């Protein structure tokens, strides 16, 4: 299992288009991936799950992965979130 914390660096957070980009990126990896906000953990590959967290800009989240490419998955998603979704 591999875990990192990251602050969401765009103004809208993980809503609408940024959430879609996040989920598309998460689905590129084979590992099981979760996103956690304030002890609530959801599947990072689920649009409804990610949207249900209500993640706004400036929020710190944890990205957690378990599987063969866990480090690449977490690092890739952290890079996406911390760049304000500019790949």
CATH number, residue 67: 3.30.1340.10
Please provide the distance, in angstroms rounded to a whole number, between the alpha carbons at the two ends of the chain. Answer: 25
Residue 87: band (very low, low, confident or very high) from pLDDT cuts 50, 70, 90: low
- Whole-prediction pTM value? 0.90
Active site residue 15: yes
- Would you say residue 35 lies in a domain? yes
Residue 87 within any structural domain of the chain = no
Catalytic residue, from 2, 12, 15, 62: name it: 15
Q: For a pLDDT cut of 90, what percent of the chain falls above it?
A: 69
Question: What does residue 31 show for φ and ψ, rounded to 5 degrees?
Answer: -65, 155
Task: Please tell me the predicted confidence (pLDDT) of residue 30.
Answer: 97
- Specify if 43 maps to a domain: yes
Q: Angle of helix 16-26 relative to helix 70-82, nearest 10 degrees?
A: 160
Domains of the chain: total? 1
């Amino acid at each position: 299992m591999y875990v990192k914390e990251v602050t969401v660096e765009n103004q809208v957070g993980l809503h609408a288009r940024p959430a879609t980009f996040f989920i598309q990126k998460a689905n590129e990896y084979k590992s099981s991936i979760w996103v956690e906000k304030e002890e609530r953990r959801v599947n990072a590959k689920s649009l409804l799950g990610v949207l249900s967290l209500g993640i706004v800009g400036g929020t710190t989240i944890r990205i957690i992965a378990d599987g063969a490419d866990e480090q690449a998955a977490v690092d890739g998603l952290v890079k996406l979130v911390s760049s304000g979704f500019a790949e």
